[in-house]
Chains A and B, each alone.
Chain A
Amino acid sequence: MSISRRLASGGLIDRSKPINFTFDGKTYGGYAGDTLASALLANDTMLVGRSFKYHRPRGIFSAGPEEPNALVTLRSGARAEPNTKATTVELFDGLDASSQNCWPSPNFDLRAVHQLAGPLLNAGFYYKTFMWPAAFWEKFYEPAIRASAGLGALSGLDDPDTYEKSHAFCDLLVIGAGPAGLAAALAAGRAGARVIVAEEDFVLGGRLLSDTAQIDGVTAASWAALAEAELGTLPNVRILKRTAVFGAYDGEYGAIERVSDHLPVPPPFMPRQRLWKIVAKQCVLAAGAQERPLVFPGNDRPGIMLASALRTYANRFGVVPGQRVAIFTTSDDGWRSAFELQKAGAEIAVVVDARTDVSPEVRKLAGNAPQFLGAHVSDTSGYRRLTNITITDSAGQTRSVAVDTLGVSAGWSPSIGIATHLGGKGSWSEEKSAFLCSDTPPGMQIAGAAAAQWSLADALEHGALAGAKAASHVGLGLQAQKPILASDEASCNNPVWLFAGSRRKAFVDLQNDVTATDVALAAQEGFRSVEQLKRYTTLGMATDQGKTSNVNGLAILAGEIKKTIAETGATRARPPHVPVAIGAFAGLHSGKHFKPVRLTASHAASAAAGATFVEAGQWMRAQWFNAPGETDWLTSVTREVKAVRSSVGICDVSTLGKIALCGSDVGTFLDRVYINTFSTLPVGKVRYGVMLREDGFVMDDGTTARLSADHYVMTTTTVNAGKVMQHLEYCHQVLWPELDVQMVSVTEQWAQVAVAGPQSRELLQVLLGDAFDISNEVFPYLACAEFRVGNIPLRLFRVSFSGELAYEIAAPAGYGEALFNALMQAGKALGVTPYGTEALSVMRIEKGHVAGSELNGQTVACDLGLGRMMSVKKDYIGRTMAAREALIDPDRPTLVGLRPVDRSQRLRNGSLLFARGVTPAPDNNAGFITSTAFSPGNNHWIGLGLLARGPERHGEIIRAWDPVRSGDLELEVVDPVFVDAEGARLRA
């Protein structure tokens, strides 16, 4: 059993609730309120992983989301979460975590051999080598690099947990519930504003949890608890704990709530995480600041930590991670950490400050500990744990001090990332030694340490003011604030960016193993922009997003290129401000629930009849119906086609877009959107129409029926239903608002079934009885009618996609299933056969009708043999552009029928067409096959294709070349209509 570093008392952990967890297979104990990091430190486990490139031993470095070192894989199996920061994981009973990027263990890692090659593996080394021989890159070098890439591993298993999204609207979003955030929320909440407080941590308070200062006469942590309690009583305030705001977007903020990450497994119906999209009129960014580390030789050993993290572990978690602690600082704050640590019972071995001028009040904070001013740490030793530091004093004398823990503090960097997401830029403040943001997103104020208001009193005051201002901006009136009295504290940043010393590496980016030498080399090689530096060295690109490295890196760069930090500038912050699980962005929409499913009214009836379904956009359509004994789809489809051609079949065609068009000017309107004329369409008739885009290419086709003088119903293809609706609305609202036209989609209202085949009329007669006369005389080809049977309104259209005598009958969708069943029942004696989209497609190909594969957005009406429909008497959308030289070129590929010379051969869609005997080359490609089908009537495969000068070439033998399927066939060019060319059947 290892030593316990837990203090006997103090901290915000609950010693009455012990928790067991395992790390790298070993069981440890912690308490409720611990993070994984604090619990590990309490168990004297400092070394938790290895660095990315050199596999150097690395320990816990921070106490928050800026952690560069302590990345673990949390949980196992399908729930494994690689690269999880131990410093942010809330401890739960049964937690299981393991170290990463080391084998067999962080204590003994075979890849540590990388360190020997350290001098070679500097910034950008790979750009200069691994080029010879060329083939070796992919075979040898790259696999080796890839094998050592990354830190943790995904399980490769499907994520078993669920995610959800939620929207929220508020007057004020407070990001961060430290002193400034709590003060802002209280001020705005008391004024009556709708406030959302989002705090990444599982406890509100931020730095208050790590401080022993007094506020309003109570301890900082108690004040935070009181503030939380008051906010809880305000119905207009919502507190979101475990919720990190990760981005500012136009008009909204993104936040991620870790709903059940602190539980072993999410309970039923509870998502793992919830993505919040928050629309806030005002925002107070009170995200605090991150302490900057110091760059000096040997600064990466386990035991070297941010000084403020030591303070947090002591005061919040009751853990002092070492026995002898040194502090190395360039700011007053380092001294305060020393003070707090001593107060908690740690032994401070030495305080080293690079500054020569430190106020006596600040120096007092170190108590009796030895102090060195104008000095720095110039070397360290200890492989798996710090054992000694070397101090170079102001006179240049060095001395070694035995310590196991070193707290470093170079002052603080305000956390302004979110403020810059909309394009604002951090600008360097010499006074504050920090990047501040002034051009914030609309409605955002920055308060507290995020605005470099370092002292507790300043943070509370400015936070309250920001909250009050936000409330007044939303019209609630500026209210006087009761001052919050906090104990005073001095604060000052005096940065020194790089300390010389031994030849050991001085790390800038601890996770990506970027050293000060790397930064210098990049500058030497001409990478003088901070963005180029980042890209060349990978500085700041690790999972900590450069939170501990960016400022130091660019300051060192500035020194190298002899510019100021202000001139050098910072890299642009990009969302997400904290890494967010990909699953959370998807919410419910993963796997099968990626998109909604649309079912036709006859779905269940079709399933019962043996249908196999296929996705058609969001719709599920019956593709074919499996009859007993049938084992392959072609048998089923062929049977269905034969049945339709010889007797009667039914097919649900409800998925076609249906648009009701009403008003006195619909005829005129349709004349302008279709290439052919509709104003002359009589009531009770249907006409086929083609519409173009304004650029002259075909947009869609379909039939439009005139049900009454002022009421038409248009059908569109299934896939283009939405697009056509939008187009028609555009034409009406933008181009021709003067027309009396109203339109609305009725796709959902009507279930529509095609009844096709020579016996379709008999079937309908059985179904309708004497309710409606469907004799050829009364109801000829292209007739339409609306009528009622009982209380049920029905629509009947005599249209045909199959080329047979055919109808489409429509009923309100609630009757759709019954209609399908009634048709099956009525046709029983006729042997009615349900058919699916495959048979539908076979019959339209036999008939030479174009569909999706010909209406591909690249064809003009003439290509499809529809040129004669283009009216010359009127304007219509696309007419002018359709007359362009390339669109009327007679060499354009045009619709033809195709059949194999050897009738036993199968045609394949996508084969390219060439004249017989030519060697395929781009210049002689004459077109391609668009559609193919086995034609039961012809008893061989047939196809449609687009062939240059196609109509002139009927009878010619051509070549169909299909190298991706090793196909090469001779085809005969024929008329695209393979069945009933004169159309006698459909008029029967």
Chain B
Amino acid sequence: MSTPQLFLYNLHLADNALMLAQRNSEWTGHGPVLEQDIAITNISLDLLGQARNFYQYAASLYNGFDNDEKKAVDQYVPRLWKTYNRELEEDDLAFLRDEHQYLNLLIAELPKGDWAFSVLRQFFFSVFQFHQYQQLQQNNDAQLAAIAEKSIKEVAYHLRWSGEWVIRLGDGTDESNRRIKNVLADLWPFTGEMFVGATFEAINVSLLKEAWLQKVQAVFIEATLEMPAAKWFQSGGKEGRHTEHLGYLLAEMQCLQRTYPNVTW
């Protein structure tokens, strides 16, 4: 993998984590019960930590690039930062890119929905992330491997926690079963994108699909849920083509950095 691609891959991994952290943190103070308010906030914090690691790494890569490498990723670097005349920093990447420069999976940016939506989304995402980080631990790039290794314990917890909630809701009351089935229909089309590789991806994501399906299937059996038959999937996130939701998320998330550019907070 070339260093420009490694830079983009870091953005992709960071964007995934940041968007989901942002969405989950909307529950903070509004959870269904105090313990779970704390739990989903924890996941938010873990993901935010991962995002920071990837953004910092991406920034340090970029700052070491020669001109050709810089040119190769130029369309993903925030325009406004170029006027700052200083090295690229994590917050420039997180807060100053335009919508089409974000490379996260669409599933991570969808609005939080109800509790069923948030836990099922987290489950689909965490199963994938677990296998993804497992592969990345072996990566030739030591820094990438180190971040993955550091993060995988967190992800294992997210996976367990969200899987338990999927089971609880699927095999809970009629209402919870109805709700999780509804959101399953909404979310399923957003799962396919995880397994369609982009050129910048350091691992062959299509090979993760089988393990992902097996884990989902196992939890679904306990949750008395059926695997959807639908074969059509949404796509675009890895190419910077997003849902209509991302624009609103960014307008809110970026507002201070946009209103008061290049100051210290």
> Do A and B belong to a common assembly?
no
